[in-house]
Protein backbone atom coordinates (compact mmCIF):
# COMPACT_ATOMS: atom_id res chain seq x y z
CA UNK A 1 0.00 0.00 0.00
CA UNK A 2 1.26 3.51 -0.79
CA UNK A 3 2.41 5.90 1.94
CA UNK A 4 -0.46 8.10 3.15
CA UNK A 5 -0.28 11.80 2.27
CA UNK A 6 -0.87 12.61 5.91
CA UNK A 7 -1.15 10.34 8.93
CA UNK A 8 -1.71 10.55 12.67
CA UNK A 9 0.13 7.97 14.77
CA UNK A 10 -0.87 7.57 18.41
CA UNK A 11 -1.77 11.24 18.68
CA UNK A 12 -2.67 12.49 22.16
CA UNK A 13 -3.93 15.97 22.91
CA UNK A 14 -5.63 17.81 25.79
CA UNK A 15 -6.57 21.47 26.09
CA UNK A 16 -6.80 21.05 29.86
CA UNK A 17 -4.80 18.72 32.05
CA UNK A 18 -6.54 15.46 32.82
CA UNK A 19 -9.14 15.89 30.05
CA UNK A 20 -7.76 14.22 26.93
CA UNK A 21 -9.61 15.04 23.72
CA UNK A 22 -7.52 12.57 21.71
CA UNK A 23 -5.85 9.67 23.44
CA UNK A 24 -3.89 7.62 20.92
CA UNK A 25 -5.61 8.57 17.66
CA UNK A 26 -4.50 6.84 14.45
CA UNK A 27 -5.57 7.88 10.97
CA UNK A 28 -4.20 7.45 7.43
CA UNK A 29 -5.24 9.89 4.73
CA UNK A 30 -4.50 7.98 1.54
CA UNK A 31 -3.83 9.58 -1.83
CA UNK A 32 -7.00 10.27 -3.79
CA UNK A 33 -9.32 8.98 -1.06
CA UNK A 34 -12.45 10.69 0.22
CA UNK A 35 -12.82 10.41 3.99
CA UNK A 36 -15.87 11.53 5.97
CA UNK A 37 -15.26 12.19 9.66
CA UNK A 38 -18.22 11.71 11.98
CA UNK A 39 -18.55 12.08 15.72
CA UNK A 40 -20.59 13.65 18.48
CA UNK A 41 -20.38 17.35 19.35
CA UNK A 42 -17.20 17.78 21.37
CA UNK A 43 -15.90 14.41 20.15
CA UNK A 44 -12.67 15.93 18.82
CA UNK A 45 -13.15 16.26 15.02
CA UNK A 46 -12.04 19.90 14.86
CA UNK A 47 -9.18 19.20 17.27
CA UNK A 48 -8.01 16.29 15.09
CA UNK A 49 -8.10 18.53 12.00
CA UNK A 50 -6.12 21.27 13.75
CA UNK A 51 -3.51 18.69 14.73
CA UNK A 52 -3.33 17.35 11.17
CA UNK A 53 -2.65 20.80 9.69
CA UNK A 54 -0.08 21.70 12.33
CA UNK A 55 -2.17 24.38 14.07
CA UNK A 56 -1.89 22.34 17.28
CA UNK A 57 1.03 20.19 18.41
CA UNK A 58 0.35 16.69 19.79
CA UNK A 59 1.37 16.09 23.41
CA UNK A 60 2.34 12.60 22.33
CA UNK A 61 2.41 10.73 19.02
CA UNK A 62 3.18 12.12 15.58
CA UNK A 63 1.68 13.62 12.46
CA UNK A 64 3.46 12.40 9.32
CA UNK A 65 3.49 14.12 5.91
CA UNK A 66 4.48 11.65 3.18
CA UNK A 67 5.75 9.34 5.93
CA UNK A 68 8.01 11.96 7.56
CA UNK A 69 7.22 13.61 10.91
CA UNK A 70 6.17 17.22 10.33
CA UNK A 71 8.75 19.73 11.44
CA UNK A 72 7.27 22.39 13.66
CA UNK A 73 9.66 25.11 12.54
CA UNK A 74 8.60 27.88 10.15
CA UNK A 75 9.91 26.05 7.07
CA UNK A 76 8.22 22.77 7.99
CA UNK A 77 4.86 24.35 8.75
CA UNK A 78 4.98 26.42 5.54
CA UNK A 79 5.69 23.25 3.55
CA UNK A 80 2.74 21.57 5.26
CA UNK A 81 0.37 24.47 4.60
CA UNK A 82 1.19 24.69 0.90
CA UNK A 83 0.13 21.05 0.55
CA UNK A 84 -2.63 20.73 3.11
CA UNK A 85 -5.44 23.25 3.49
CA UNK A 86 -8.05 23.35 6.25
CA UNK A 87 -11.38 25.11 5.85
CA UNK A 88 -12.51 26.04 9.35
CA UNK A 89 -15.93 25.16 10.74
CA UNK A 90 -16.80 28.81 11.38
CA UNK A 91 -16.01 31.05 8.38
CA UNK A 92 -15.76 34.07 10.70
CA UNK A 93 -12.58 32.45 12.07
CA UNK A 94 -11.15 32.20 8.54
CA UNK A 95 -12.10 35.31 6.58
CA UNK A 96 -10.23 38.48 7.32
CA UNK A 97 -9.70 40.49 4.10
CA UNK A 98 -11.95 43.38 3.13
CA UNK A 99 -13.49 41.80 0.02
CA UNK A 100 -14.24 38.32 -1.27
CA UNK A 101 -11.67 38.67 -4.07
CA UNK A 102 -8.96 39.84 -1.66
CA UNK A 103 -9.68 37.02 0.75
CA UNK A 104 -9.57 34.29 -1.90
CA UNK A 105 -6.40 35.76 -3.46
CA UNK A 106 -4.52 36.06 -0.14
CA UNK A 107 -3.05 32.54 -0.18
CA UNK A 108 -1.96 32.48 -3.84
CA UNK A 109 -0.45 36.00 -3.49
CA UNK A 110 1.48 34.77 -0.43
CA UNK A 111 2.81 31.84 -2.43
CA UNK A 112 4.50 34.47 -4.60
CA UNK A 113 2.66 33.43 -7.76
CA UNK A 114 2.64 35.79 -10.77
CA UNK A 115 -0.42 38.05 -10.89
CA UNK A 116 -1.96 36.36 -13.95
CA UNK A 117 -1.73 32.97 -12.17
CA UNK A 118 -3.30 34.46 -9.02
CA UNK A 119 -6.13 35.94 -11.07
CA UNK A 120 -6.74 32.65 -12.90
CA UNK A 121 -6.84 30.66 -9.64
CA UNK A 122 -9.13 33.14 -7.89
CA UNK A 123 -11.54 33.31 -10.81
CA UNK A 124 -11.67 29.50 -11.07
CA UNK A 125 -12.26 29.15 -7.31
CA UNK A 126 -15.00 31.80 -7.27
CA UNK A 127 -16.67 30.11 -10.25
CA UNK A 128 -16.43 26.67 -8.62
CA UNK A 129 -18.22 27.96 -5.52
CA UNK A 130 -20.77 29.95 -7.60
CA UNK A 131 -19.74 33.26 -6.00
CA UNK A 132 -18.14 35.07 -8.97
CA UNK A 133 -20.83 37.76 -8.64
CA UNK A 134 -19.73 38.41 -5.02
CA UNK A 135 -16.06 39.11 -5.89
CA UNK A 136 -16.18 42.78 -4.86
CA UNK A 137 -18.47 42.33 -1.88
CA UNK A 138 -17.16 43.22 1.59
CA UNK A 139 -16.75 39.97 3.51
CA UNK A 140 -18.51 41.33 6.61
CA UNK A 141 -21.70 41.85 4.59
CA UNK A 142 -21.91 38.24 3.37
CA UNK A 143 -24.53 35.80 4.59
CA UNK A 144 -23.28 32.79 6.57
CA UNK A 145 -23.53 30.45 3.56
CA UNK A 146 -21.76 33.00 1.33
CA UNK A 147 -18.97 33.29 3.93
CA UNK A 148 -18.69 29.53 3.98
CA UNK A 149 -18.34 29.39 0.19
CA UNK A 150 -15.73 32.17 0.27
CA UNK A 151 -13.67 30.30 2.86
CA UNK A 152 -13.80 27.12 0.74
CA UNK A 153 -12.85 29.11 -2.40
CA UNK A 154 -9.80 30.47 -0.56
CA UNK A 155 -8.60 26.96 0.25
CA UNK A 156 -9.27 25.66 -3.28
CA UNK A 157 -7.32 28.58 -4.79
CA UNK A 158 -4.24 27.17 -3.03
CA UNK A 159 -4.58 23.96 -5.12
CA UNK A 160 -3.68 21.74 -2.14
CA UNK A 161 -2.88 18.04 -2.46
CA UNK A 162 -5.08 17.45 0.54
CA UNK A 163 -8.14 19.51 1.41
CA UNK A 164 -9.70 19.18 4.87
CA UNK A 165 -13.14 20.72 5.33
CA UNK A 166 -14.67 21.06 8.79
CA UNK A 167 -18.46 20.74 8.42
CA UNK A 168 -18.46 22.41 4.99
CA UNK A 169 -22.15 21.75 4.29
CA UNK A 170 -23.46 23.12 7.61
CA UNK A 171 -25.38 26.29 6.78
CA UNK A 172 -25.42 25.76 3.01
CA UNK A 173 -28.79 25.64 1.25
CA UNK A 174 -29.61 22.30 -0.46
CA UNK A 175 -28.57 23.54 -3.91
CA UNK A 176 -25.36 24.85 -2.35
CA UNK A 177 -24.65 21.40 -0.91
CA UNK A 178 -25.08 19.84 -4.37
CA UNK A 179 -22.83 22.49 -5.94
CA UNK A 180 -20.19 21.85 -3.29
CA UNK A 181 -20.35 18.09 -3.93
CA UNK A 182 -19.86 18.73 -7.66
CA UNK A 183 -16.83 20.91 -6.89
CA UNK A 184 -15.42 18.24 -4.57
CA UNK A 185 -16.07 15.68 -7.33
CA UNK A 186 -13.95 17.78 -9.74
CA UNK A 187 -11.17 18.08 -7.15
CA UNK A 188 -11.29 14.33 -6.52
CA UNK A 189 -11.13 13.64 -10.26
CA UNK A 190 -8.06 15.90 -10.42
CA UNK A 191 -6.39 13.75 -7.74
CA UNK A 192 -6.98 15.84 -4.59
CA UNK A 193 -7.27 13.88 -1.36
CA UNK A 194 -10.38 15.04 0.50
CA UNK A 195 -11.49 14.93 4.11
CA UNK A 196 -14.67 16.43 5.48
CA UNK A 197 -16.49 16.29 8.78
CA UNK A 198 -20.26 16.11 8.91
CA UNK A 199 -23.16 14.98 11.08
CA UNK A 200 -25.03 13.88 7.94
CA UNK A 201 -24.72 10.10 7.57
CA UNK A 202 -26.54 10.10 4.23
CA UNK A 203 -24.11 12.63 2.80
CA UNK A 204 -21.20 10.57 4.15
CA UNK A 205 -22.61 7.43 2.52
CA UNK A 206 -23.07 8.93 -0.91
CA UNK A 207 -19.78 10.80 -0.92
CA UNK A 208 -17.09 9.00 1.06
CA UNK A 209 -14.86 6.00 0.36
CA UNK A 210 -14.07 5.65 4.07
CA UNK A 211 -15.53 6.92 7.32
CA UNK A 212 -13.71 7.82 10.53
CA UNK A 213 -15.66 8.09 13.78
CA UNK A 214 -13.99 10.32 16.37
CA UNK A 215 -15.26 9.62 19.88
CA UNK A 216 -13.88 9.10 23.37
CA UNK A 217 -10.34 9.97 22.34
CA UNK A 218 -10.03 7.40 19.55
CA UNK A 219 -10.54 7.34 15.80
CA UNK A 220 -12.30 4.31 14.34
CA UNK A 221 -11.89 3.94 10.55
CA UNK A 222 -13.87 1.64 8.24
CA UNK A 223 -15.24 1.65 4.72
CA UNK A 224 -18.30 3.89 4.33
CA UNK A 225 -20.39 0.80 3.59
CA UNK A 226 -19.30 -0.94 6.80
CA UNK A 227 -19.27 2.07 9.14
CA UNK A 228 -22.63 3.45 8.06
CA UNK A 229 -24.36 0.11 8.57
CA UNK A 230 -22.83 -0.36 12.05
CA UNK A 231 -25.58 0.70 14.47
CA UNK A 232 -23.38 0.43 17.60
CA UNK A 233 -20.57 2.48 16.07
CA UNK A 234 -23.02 5.13 14.88
CA UNK A 235 -24.73 5.24 18.26
CA UNK A 236 -21.32 5.99 19.83
CA UNK A 237 -21.27 9.06 17.58
CA UNK A 238 -24.88 9.97 18.55
CA UNK A 239 -25.96 9.16 14.98
CA UNK A 240 -28.53 6.89 13.40
CA UNK A 241 -27.87 4.60 10.43
CA UNK A 242 -27.86 5.95 6.87
CA UNK A 243 -31.03 5.07 4.92
CA UNK A 244 -29.31 3.94 1.71
CA UNK A 245 -27.64 0.71 3.01
CA UNK A 246 -30.99 -0.30 4.59
CA UNK A 247 -32.82 0.33 1.30
CA UNK A 248 -30.16 -1.66 -0.60
CA UNK A 249 -30.71 -4.60 1.81
CA UNK A 250 -34.51 -4.45 1.32
CA UNK A 251 -34.06 -4.29 -2.47
CA UNK A 252 -31.68 -7.26 -2.34
CA UNK A 253 -34.34 -9.24 -0.39
CA UNK A 254 -36.78 -8.36 -3.19
CA UNK A 255 -34.27 -9.75 -5.71
CA UNK A 256 -33.14 -6.33 -6.93
CA UNK A 257 -29.46 -5.60 -7.32
CA UNK A 258 -29.59 -1.81 -6.91
CA UNK A 259 -27.75 0.56 -4.61
CA UNK A 260 -29.38 4.00 -4.81
CA UNK A 261 -27.27 6.54 -2.90
CA UNK A 262 -29.49 9.59 -3.23
CA UNK A 263 -33.25 10.16 -3.12
CA UNK A 264 -33.11 11.04 -6.85
CA UNK A 265 -31.43 7.69 -7.65
CA UNK A 266 -34.05 5.87 -5.56
CA UNK A 267 -36.95 7.66 -7.34
CA UNK A 268 -35.40 6.88 -10.74
CA UNK A 269 -35.01 3.22 -9.78
CA UNK A 270 -38.59 2.98 -8.50
CA UNK A 271 -39.92 4.75 -11.59
CA UNK A 272 -38.33 2.23 -13.97
CA UNK A 273 -38.96 -0.87 -11.87
CA UNK A 274 -42.39 -2.37 -11.33
CA UNK A 275 -41.81 -3.89 -7.87
CA UNK A 276 -44.48 -6.28 -6.56
CA UNK A 277 -46.30 -4.50 -3.70
State the residues that interact with Mg ion by CB under 5 A. Answer: 45-46, 89
Between 186 and 235, name the residue whose CB sits nearer to ligand ATP: 235
Instruction: State which residue, 42 or 138, has the beta carbon closest to Mg ion.
Output: 42
Q: Which residues contact 38 (CB under 8 A, 6 or more apart)?
A: 45, 197, 198, 199, 201, 204, 211, 212, 213, 214, 227, 234, 237, 239
Nearer to ligand ATP, 37 or 266 (CB): 37
Q: How far is the CB of 167 from ligand ATP (least distance, A)?
A: 6
**How many CA atoms within 13 Å lie on the side-chain side of 257?**
0
Select the binding partner of residue 91 from ligand ATP, Mg ion, none (C-beta < 5 to 8 A, by kind): none
What minimum distance in Å lies between the beta carbon of 100 and Mg ion? 24
21 binds, among ligand ATP, Mg ion, none (CB under 5 to 8 A by kind): ligand ATP
Cα distances from 109 to residues 21, 78, 103, 120, 159, in angstroms, run 36, 14, 10, 12, 13
CB of 46: closest distance to ligand ATP in angstroms? 3
CB 196, CB 188: distance < 8 Å: no
Q: Cβ 40 to ligand ATP, closest distance in Å?
A: 7
Q: Which residues bind ligand ATP (CB under 6 A)?
A: 15, 21, 39, 41-47, 89
Amino acid sequence: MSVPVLAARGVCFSYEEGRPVLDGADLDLCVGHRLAVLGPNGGGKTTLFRLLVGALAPADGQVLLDGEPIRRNRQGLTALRTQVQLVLQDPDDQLFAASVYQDVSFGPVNLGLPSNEVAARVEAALKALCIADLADRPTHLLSFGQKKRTAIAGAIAMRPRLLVLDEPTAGLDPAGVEELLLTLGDLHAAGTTLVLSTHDVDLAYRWADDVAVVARGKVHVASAEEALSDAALLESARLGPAWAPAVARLLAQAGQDARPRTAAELYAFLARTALPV
